[in-house]
Amino acid sequence: MKLVTIVGARPQFIKAAVLSRLFRSPEYREQFEEILVHTGQHYDDNMSEVFFLEMGIPDPDVNLNIGSASHGRMTGEMLIRLEEVLVDRKPDLVLVYGDTNSTLAGALAASKLNIPVAHVEAGLRSFWKAMPEEQNRIVADHLSEWLFCPSDTARRNLEREGITNGVHVVGDIMLDASLHYRKIVEGDLAQGRTRVPRLFGPGAESEPPKDFCLLTIHRAENTDDPARLRSLVTGLAGAARPIVFPVHPRTRKKLAEYGISLPPQTRPIEPVGYLEMLELELRSSVIVTDSGGVQKEAYFLRKPCVTLREQTEWTETVESGWNRLVGADAEAIATALSTASAPASYPACYGEGRSGEKILELLSGQALHRR
């Protein structure tokens, strides 16, 4: 079976690393040929290339280098360019991940050419239609022939929309990645090797604090509204712990544009690679984020999470008490940061870390059938 895998953003690189490694393993390499296509949605070296290097992801066979633009322009350009790739490569299947513009464009381009689509991380819903990612994931799900769900909640979401064929609950592929790369980071730390001091500058400040909040902010609804971004920063100022903040390029630009100063206990650093982020997560006490992927990583690592959104597609993390939704309410943010603690129980909502193998077992049956 010849597959075209379409990625474009950091979370997709992490997910693709799991399946790309399996596609090339002795067990499966006779059955699959993967063609990796990078749309270029994340194009900054710190946001893209470092992930391919440190996670051992093969170099993309095709890099479209599309870069940043409005949603419509970006998706339209991706659709045009991806159609050309698919016509040229003639795959049996197109594999898309998550909920980005790259996901939407890949699913649309494939379906227009009558190429089956497999969607990894199918069935997620925040139930907020104004969120671009929600629109992308709904369309991708309704165009897909294979729908690989991370949880029973995701399966039920699809069932409510009338999607029952081709649905498989396989667990969360990011748990596979977290378990695999966590062993590497923890092994290095046990040997006294660390990846993060270079992020903090020279001298005594070259290490992160012993007890800190790890912060990420990148979503347009938080960064593009000056009043909302200012309210987030006001709430963060109530944190008793130091805040380590890898700053997304968009967020850095908007903070400067709006003249918003970070709280004095904040230590802003450049964007980090996946292994550096894992180490920061492991060393942190609380994680504060508006990222869906980071919410899950906090859950996998059993770290209390405060989410700077009113909704989340990862509802299980909230229901279990490990994640608290606070939106942009400054008082709610400050309260959540001062009271964040680990719950007594930890339900395993997202499988056991074998979702990649389950996906390939299912696809392998289809590959053998096609032969």
Residues 6+ apart with CB under 8 A from 134: 99, 125, 126, 127, 128, 313
Residue of 42, 119, 218, 248 with catalytic role: 218
Residue 302 burial class via C-beta count within 10 angstroms: exposed 0-12, middle 13-18, buried 19 and up: exposed
Nearest Cα to Cα of residue 96 among 113, 71, 121, 59: 121
Token pair listed for 237: 């100022």
The number of CA neighbours under 13 Å toward the Cβ of 270 is 12
Instruction: Quote the strand ranges of the chain, DSSP E.
Output: 2-7, 33-38, 62-63, 93-97, 117-120, 146-149, 167-169, 213-216, 243-246, 266-269, 286-289, 305-307, 323-325
Q: 119 catalytic, yes or no?
A: no
Q: Which of 371, 363, 331 is nearest to 27 (CA)?
A: 363
Task: Kindly give the interhelix angle for 132-143 and 101-112, rounded to the nearest 10 degrees.
Answer: 30
| Active-site residue set | 218
